[in-house]
Structure 1
Amino acid sequence: MSLQIEMDDPARPDVLALLEEHLRNMHELSPPESVHALDVSRLKTPDITFWSVREGGLLLGCGALRQLSPEHGEIKSMRTPAALRRRGAGRAVLEHILVEAKRRAYTRLSLETGTPAAFDAARRLYESVGFRECGPFGDYRLDPYSVFMTLDLRPQTE
Structure 2
Amino acid sequence: MTSNLYLSLGIIASALFIFMTYGLYNGIGLIDNFPKFRNFKRGEIFMQSGAFPDLPNTNVGDGIGGLILSIFLWIVMTIIFIVLLIILEAVFWFSLFILLAMLYWVFFRALKLVFKRSKDTKGSVGISIVYSISYTALYIGWIFGIVYLSEIIR
- The structure with the largest strand share of the pair is 1
The TM-score with structure 2 as length reference comes to 0.21
Q: Which has the larger radius of gyration?
A: 2
- The structure with the largest helix share of the pair is 2
The TM-score with structure 1 as length reference comes to 0.20
